[in-house]
Chain A
Amino acid sequence: MSTYSQKKGFGATLWDFLTTVDHKKIAILYLIAGGFFFLVGGLEAIFIRIQLAVPNNDFVSAGLFNEIITMHGTTMIFLAAMPLVFAFMNAVMPLQIGARDVAFPFVNALGFWLFFFGGVFLNLSWFLGGAPDAGWTSYASLAIASKGHGVDFYLLGLQISGIGTLIGGINFLVTIINMRAPGMTYMRMPLFTWTTFVTSALILFAFPPLTVGLVLMMFDRLFGANFFEVSMGGNTVIWEHLFWIFGHPEVYILILPAFGIFSEIFPIFSRKRLFGYSSMVFATVLIGFLGFMVWAHHMFTTGLGPVANAIFAVATMAIGVPTGIKIFNWLLTMWGGSVKFTTPMHWALAFIPSFLAGGVTGVMLASAAADYQYHDTYFVVAHFHYVIVGGVVFAVFAGTHLYWPKMFGTMLNEVLGKITFWLFFIGFHLTFFIQHFLGLWGMPRRVFTYLPGQGLSASNMVSSVGAAFMGVAVIVMLLNIIITSVKNVKVGNDPWGDGRTLEWSIPSPPPFYNFKQLPLVRGLDAYWLEKMDGKKGMTPAEPLGDIHMPNSSFLPFMMSLGLFIAAFGAMYHVDKEPWALPLMIFGLLVTFGSMFMRSVKDDHGFHIHKEDLIDDDEKGVKA
């Protein structure tokens, strides 16, 4: 493909990204969009900590504070952590199994645009009359009573982005089941692929309950239904169940890929095979399974009764066992290895004690009787930030540094990377460690201020100072990205030198067809095996031949845009705006019309011819 390496203008590049179905470009889109929302959510966190830095503060009003905490949680979970994790799944998983793309490239693009428009819709609430203010869990008794359109933005925005996540999950499952390279058996799959697999299964079964919950609340708020209207026979606990049947698997949806990233980092930078590979796989699957059995531990104080509480308490504690297996396996992977302290390894090493602390408080919270004391205090806030930040966010930072060369063909600066690490690591513990004690001393979560002289002032100030450290760390990281991109020093296939899996056997960034010839996989850590046998690359499993590739399409963008428009119509329909209903119908027509187009218009894709592939060789596609 001679057009492939040509320089393009800005307009052409933009159009390319708007219509792309290439998993590597979609990964970049996820990274940019997720990174942007991470900054937005981070800014909200900074506002929270400024408000709480001193007692009786009036930096923001109580109402605005509610909006900020709601949006901080919602943005970070749905619009930052999930897409960032999806970015790495898209960028790396197809390469790790030796596939040329995901199973449904079109659906992959659709998933991204749905997430993107859902996220934009949710955040437009700031400019259109106020953000949602019922907490990220949006409990029905609060949400139904919430005035204005804030909660409607939450419901419709999450509904749209949730559909995107669901189809993304199905896509990854089919890709892993059907599209592994010859010899890539299940028990030879890299751990990150395994965690992607289990995560996708969790997405498939966890998101529909959220969809239903959001639909019910939308019906209540916008169309006069009475699911949560107690005076009409409704029941608000239904929302709590539906939300947490989704919500608890959701935390495993986030943490399992994080485990996967760390399970790649430890072997690479210890130059040793992952210790206990099969027990790691087993633990991953077990965590995924148990993740569905524990949702009611968020509802210990709801009043489900001692029997239900006891069952869910025991199930919750049981998850500590497979997680413990993983911790020991990571430690033993390093044992006796030649450890290199690169930036990703810094994050991985810091992850173990940080995440462990979050796990231990998790077991404390799992004791239903004790939970009555912890419930809705800063102890809970400290716990979930230790697992989400100490686990997921650390993994996202680690993964960004580890996979940056594979995604963009250039290495992030190691010195700046380590500065980012130390600032963030110190800031993180400074912010959240003290919050355990704030909680135990009785500070409730979600309060917008507190009184002086209650022993909470100094600790809150410490916590806020820590947040500033994290803010600076992120700025250093952004600088690093800018400097690296400007310098743009190109690197080879295996920039870390010790890559073990298939993604390190091909150029950085890979050509758009990934593998000229599908590789033959001879065992776990396929590329490492070949290197140890003195070979330079993988042995091909097929002769050089034509490659079938999917066509780009603008339809995913249009389908998502249609829902985005329809959501405005549905929302303002309540205010009896005359244009609302036509707008909703118009938006739905755009979506269904695009679906109709997709169905009616044949899309056979195209072939890259053998001769062009040989041409690429002669021109010397960077090897």
Chain B
Amino acid sequence: MHTEEKMTYETWPAAPEKSTLEAKNKFLGFWLFLGGETVLFASLFATYLALKDKVPSTSHALAKDLFELPLTFVATMLLLTSSLTSVYAMYHMKNFAFKKMMVWLGLTVLLGAGFLGLEVYEFNHYVHKFHHTFTSSAFGSAFYTLVGFHGAHVAFGLMWILTIMIRNSKRGLNLYNAPKFYVASLYWHFIDVVWVFIFTVVYLMGMVG
């Protein structure tokens, strides 16, 4: 199958994300890349756990002073929902429904942007109310690095999805860009899974003490 071919609903394959060799390679390569990313985040989690609440003096805020459930709960819901909307987008991609896919991807981007906004507010809150900064303690460095790395991934994912949405807005789906949409959504799910661990390890375990 040629990637540039004009496709119709009838000719659209069941698995457009891996219908050519290039697409198969991209699909597998991206999964492997996510394997490497998993180790990257595992290293950051390990560092965070080793440095949690490690502060130079008792005047510094600890995890149990900082975190509040309502804010992180809303953030979690936003991101989890955005994962669901990206699933719908891929469902429509597989059914060659380009417009519907774009709508769901647009929703995904909006929800992701909402999550990022909350994170910016949250960091700002810690810095000004608790003087908990990147340089104030080892705990601060580890916290902002782990959560910030995730935030940077979210931002990158947003830019990525937006770029391919705009690039392909006029020409619809074909076998060249279908795998691009697919791996972008894989990336988005990965970011979501990492957040589930951050929510558990950083916030829930942090509030327990």
| Interface flag for B137 (CB, 8 Å) | yes
> A83 to chain B: closest CB distance in Å?
20
Chain B 47-83: CB-based contact to A (< 8 A → 1; otherwise 0): 1001100111000000000000000000000000000
> A618 to chain B: closest CB distance in Å?
29
| Interface flag for A496 (CB, 8 Å) | no
B4 touches A600 (CB 8 A): no
| Interface flag for A513 (CB, 8 Å) | no
Q: Which of A193-235 contact B (CB under 8 A)?
A: 204-205, 207-209, 211-213, 215-216, 219-220, 223-227, 229, 231-235
B25 touches A174 (CB 8 A): yes
| Interface flag for B124 (CB, 8 Å) | no
Known contacts A170-B29, A178-B24, A233-B56; is A208 also within 8 Å of B40 by CB? Answer: yes
- Chain B's closest residue to A599 (CB) is B163
A599 touches B164 (CB 8 A): yes
Kindly list chain A residues whose C-beta atoms are within 8 Å of the C-beta of B39.
204-205, 208-209
Known contacts A209-B39, A227-B47, A599-B167; is A170 also within 8 Å of B33 by CB? Answer: yes
B32 touches A227 (CB 8 A): no
Known contacts A177-B28, A208-B40; is A604 also within 8 Å of B176 by CB? Answer: yes
| Interface flag for A460 (CB, 8 Å) | no
> B13 to chain A: closest CB distance in Å?
17
- A135 vs B135: C-alpha distance in the bound complex, in angstroms? 26
Kindly list chain B residues whose C-beta atoms are within 8 Å of the C-beta of A219.
134, 141, 145
> A376 to chain B: closest CB distance in Å?
25
- A602 vs B33: C-alpha distance in the bound complex, in angstroms? 22
B56 touches A231 (CB 8 A): yes
| Interface flag for B169 (CB, 8 Å) | no
Interchain CB contact (< 8 A) of A234 among B37, B46, B54, B176 = B54
- The A interface, classified by DSSP as helix, strand, loop or mixed, is helix
- A224 vs B134: C-alpha distance in the bound complex, in angstroms? 8
Kindly list chain B residues whose C-beta atoms are within 8 Å of the C-beta of A103.
25, 28-29
Interchain CB contact (< 8 A) of B21 among A178, A212, A241 = A178
- Chain A's closest residue to B160 (CB) is A599
B134 touches A223 (CB 8 A): yes
Kindly list chain A residues whose C-beta atoms are within 8 Å of the C-beta of B40.
208-209, 211-212
| Interface flag for A437 (CB, 8 Å) | no
- A417 vs B37: C-alpha distance in the bound complex, in angstroms? 44
Q: Which of B112-156 contact A (CB under 8 A)?
A: 134-135, 137-142, 145
Known contacts A204-B32, A207-B36, A604-B4; is A235 also within 8 Å of B141 by CB? Answer: no
| Interface flag for B44 (CB, 8 Å) | yes
Interchain CB contact (< 8 A) of A212 among B32, B35, B43, B176 = B43
| Interface flag for A387 (CB, 8 Å) | no
| Interface flag for B3 (CB, 8 Å) | yes
B140 touches A104 (CB 8 A): no
- Chain A's closest residue to B43 (CB) is A212
> B138 to chain A: closest CB distance in Å?
4
> A148 to chain B: closest CB distance in Å?
21
Kindly list chain A residues whose C-beta atoms are within 8 Å of the C-beta of B134.
219, 223-225
B163 touches A235 (CB 8 A): no
- A107 vs B43: C-alpha distance in the bound complex, in angstroms? 25
Known contacts A204-B35, A596-B163; is A232 also within 8 Å of B43 by CB? Answer: no
B47 touches A216 (CB 8 A): yes
Known contacts A170-B29, A208-B36; is A600 also within 8 Å of B47 by CB? Answer: no
Kindly list chain A residues whose C-beta atoms are within 8 Å of the C-beta of B50.
235, 238
> B192 to chain A: closest CB distance in Å?
19
> A186 to chain B: closest CB distance in Å?
15
Kindly list chain B residues whose C-beta atoms are within 8 Å of the C-beta of A89.
none
Known contacts A209-B43, A596-B163; is A604 also within 8 Å of B29 by CB? Answer: no
| Interface flag for A567 (CB, 8 Å) | no
| Interface flag for A242 (CB, 8 Å) | yes
| Interface flag for A274 (CB, 8 Å) | no
Kindly list chain B residues whose C-beta atoms are within 8 Å of the C-beta of A209.
39-40, 43
Known contacts A232-B137, A599-B164; is A225 also within 8 Å of B145 by CB? Answer: yes
- A235 vs B56: C-alpha distance in the bound complex, in angstroms? 12
Kindly list chain B residues whose C-beta atoms are within 8 Å of the C-beta of A174.
25, 28-29, 32
- Chain A's closest residue to B133 (CB) is A224
> B41 to chain A: closest CB distance in Å?
8
> B118 to chain A: closest CB distance in Å?
24
Kindly list chain A residues whose C-beta atoms are within 8 Å of the C-beta of B137.
226, 232-233
Known contacts A208-B37, A212-B47; is A224 also within 8 Å of B135 by CB? Answer: yes
Kindly list chain B residues whose C-beta atoms are within 8 Å of the C-beta of A229.
138
- Chain B's closest residue to A171 (CB) is B29
| Interface flag for A166 (CB, 8 Å) | yes
Kindly list chain B residues whose C-beta atoms are within 8 Å of the C-beta of A212.
40, 43-44, 47
B140 touches A226 (CB 8 A): yes
- Chain B's closest residue to A166 (CB) is B36
A207, A212, A216: which has the most chain B beta carbons within 10 Å? A212
Kindly list chain B residues whose C-beta atoms are within 8 Å of the C-beta of A224.
134-135
Kindly list chain B residues whose C-beta atoms are within 8 Å of the C-beta of A234.
51, 54, 138, 141
- Chain B's closest residue to A605 (CB) is B22
- A177 vs B138: C-alpha distance in the bound complex, in angstroms? 42
- Chain A's closest residue to B163 (CB) is A599
A227 touches B29 (CB 8 A): no
A204 touches B51 (CB 8 A): no
- A125 vs B183: C-alpha distance in the bound complex, in angstroms? 39
Kindly list chain B residues whose C-beta atoms are within 8 Å of the C-beta of A171.
29
A173 touches B32 (CB 8 A): yes
- Chain B's closest residue to A200 (CB) is B32
> B4 to chain A: closest CB distance in Å?
6
A227 touches B142 (CB 8 A): yes
- A268 vs B138: C-alpha distance in the bound complex, in angstroms? 57
> A550 to chain B: closest CB distance in Å?
9
Task: Known A-B contacts: A224-B135, A232-B56, A234-B51. Give 6 more (CB < 8 A).
Answer: A170-B36, A173-B32, A174-B29, A235-B51, A235-B54, A599-B163
- A sample of 22 inter-chain contacts (CB < 8 A) reads A103-B28, A103-B29, A104-B29, A178-B21, A204-B36, A211-B40, A212-B47, A216-B141, A219-B134, A224-B135, A226-B138, A229-B138, A231-B56, A232-B56, A232-B137, A233-B138, A234-B51, A234-B141, A235-B50, A235-B138, A599-B164, A604-B176
B contact residues vs A (CB 8 Å cutoff): 3-4, 21, 24-25, 28-29, 32-33, 35-37, 39-40, 43-44, 46-47, 50-51, 54-56, 134-135, 137-142, 145, 160, 163-164, 167, 176, 180
- Kindly list the 8 A-B residue pairs having the minimum CB-CB distance in the complex, ordered from nearest: A233-B54, A233-B138, A225-B141, A208-B40, A212-B43, A103-B25, A224-B135, A208-B39
